[in-house]
Amino acid sequence: MQSYPPSLIPTQPVLSFGSFLGGARRVPSVLDAGNCRFVTSGRVAIALALKQMKIGAGDSVMVPAYHCASMIEPVIWSGATPVFYRINADTSVNLDDIAAKLDGTTRLVMATNYFGFPQNLSAIRTFCDARGLRMLEDCAHSFLGEHQGKAVGSWGDYAIASSMKFFPIYEGGCLVSSRNALGSVQLHSAGVGFEAKVAFNTLEDGFEYRRLGMVKALLRLPMFLKNFVWGQIKARKPSTSQSMAPGSSDGGFGFDPNWLDKRSSYFSRLMLWLVSRERMAVLRRKNYLRLQDAMQGLPGVRPLFPQLPERVYPWVFPLLTDDPQPVFHMLKEAGVPIIRFGEYLWPGVDASVCEHSVDLSRRVLQFPCHQELKQEEIDWMIQKIKDAVLSQASPTT
């Protein structure tokens, strides 16, 4: 694997003073969908949802052929068999394909609101109800949003979200249910070392991209203490140090069932409470639209979605490229952050399973549009994308 320089602008939201400043309009989110438990990642929430539904060995689960490993690993962990269904070129669920693949073992349909654009959730709900199937709504990309006037996350028997994809936090996922009580999900703190680490890592990220100015000076001492204490904890328990880090959204850690009974940190839950969802919604749309406008007319690339509908609050800006590799390489060399959801499909998922998934997996590059990007950072990113795309269109020989 090739190594690239670190991103020059933050790939994920980082904490700034602005994070807490509100906006006027109330924006629906998964937190409005029903009962909610705060865990450390979206993948852990998937595993808990399967556990609540008592899905396991002998059962099969319909999962999209366009996915990331953290959607499939919890299914494998549960003992159930994942069955990959086709999605259409616009990322919508292909219900005909699910219908064709159903058998007596099918218990659940998992549906993902890719990049923040809701699926036709009411149609999937109707489909599942007609066949006695459960529905798991994967809102990892859609913390915010609604479908037919109801918050995302309301349509599934259970829904999951990955709060760390939207908030300036180091860990966090949600298990949500509009239909079931979640009181039987027992959670407890992962310990004081974890609590401290999570808080300070978030602040450190804020400093790294120069978001928190003077606070840095004030926090130098506690930061030193935290590194010291953390070093001591690690030195004492070498075998458990890895599992002190929850699986993060960048796929570094995989799925670890040890996190199933761990509550999200106080710090992350505080941030979910304090960080403005309205500002997040407004700025994500604004940044997305700037990227979308800037890509118009560029050769060999186009936005995956032709437009940004009202009341969609995107996770990232997905750009469909004809020839992704040279552009990807140039941009990564230049320090431009690129996210590649779905880059690696589960073994066996190839064009014979779903040609659209394979195509999206290869061709879609995703750029951040999160609320903590500064105007000049987006301008810089846009210029770099244009340079890279145009250099490919007219190679200087």
Ligand X SMILES: *Cc1c(COP(=O)(O)O)cnc(C)c1O
Pairing type for strands 146-147 and 150-151 reads: antiparallel
Q: Which of 11, 16, 112, 392 binds ligand X (CB under 6 A)?
A: 112
Least distance to ligand X from the beta carbon of 160, Å?
A: 7
Name the token pair of 232. 């001591």
**Dist CA 247 CA 155 (whole Å):** 26
* Minimum distance, C-beta of residue 116 to ligand X, in the bound complex (Å): 11
Q: Which of 11, 16, 29, 41 binds ligand X (CB under 6 A)?
A: 41
Contact predicate 381/295, CB 8 Å: no
Supply the minimum distance, in Å, between the C-beta of residue 71 and ligand X: 5
Site map (CB under 6 A) of ligand X, residues 250-279, x = contact:
------------------------------
Residue appearing with tokens 């001591």:
232
90, 120 contact by CB (below 8 A): no
* 357 part of the interface to ligand X, by CB under 6 A: no
Under the criterion CB under 6 A, does residue 153 sit at the interface with ligand X? no
Distance between CA atoms of 22 and 370, rounded to whole angstroms? 15
Stretch that binds ligand X, among 16-24, 41-49, 142-150, 292-300 (CB under 6 A): 41-49
Nearer CB in complex with ligand X: 43/197:
43
Between 146 and 256, CB nearer to ligand X: 256
Q: Which two tokens stand for residue 106?
A: 């099918």
Which of 153, 247 has the CB closer to ligand X?
247
Which region among 40-48, 87-95, 119-127, 349-357 touches ligand X (by CB under 6 A)? 40-48
Q: Whose Cβ is closer to ligand X: residue 251's or residue 326's?
A: 251
Tell me the residue type at 255: F
**Residue count, binding to ligand X (CB under 6 A):** 16
Least distance (Å) from ligand X to the CB of residue 9?
A: 21
End-to-end CA distance of the chain: 28
d(CA 323, CA 389): 10
| Amino acid, single-letter form, for residue 23 | G
Is residue 247 near ligand X by the rule CB under 6 A?
yes
Q: Which of 116, 118, 173, 324 binds ligand X (CB under 6 A)?
A: 173
* 70 versus 371: smaller Cβ distance to ligand X: 70
Task: Give the torsion through C-alpha atoms of 189, 41, 127, 314, to 10 deg.
Answer: 130
Contacting ligand X within 196-215 (CB under 6 A): none
Binding test (CB under 6 A) with ligand X, winner from 13, 28, 42, 318: 42
Q: By CB under 6 A, is residue 7 in contact with ligand X?
A: no
Strand 81-85 and strand 60-64: the pairing is parallel
User: What is the footprint of ligand X within residues 49-78 (CB under 6 A)?
Assistant: 68, 70-71
Q: Which residue type, as a one-letter code, is found at position 237?
A: K
Q: Compute the Cα dihedral for 293, 296, 300, 302 and give only its sign.
A: positive
| 118 vs 173, beta carbon nearer ligand X | 173
* Contacts of ligand X in 312-341 (CB under 6 A): 341
Nearest approach, Cβ of residue 172 and ligand X (Å): 7
Quickly tell me which residue has 């800037």 as its tokens: 294
Q: Where are the alpha helices (DSSP H) in the chain?
A: 42-52, 69-78, 95-101, 121-131, 192-208, 215-218, 220-236, 266-274, 277-295, 324-333, 355-363, 375-393
Q: Which residues bind ligand X (CB under 6 A)?
A: 41-43, 68, 70-71, 112, 138, 140-141, 162, 164, 173, 247, 249, 341
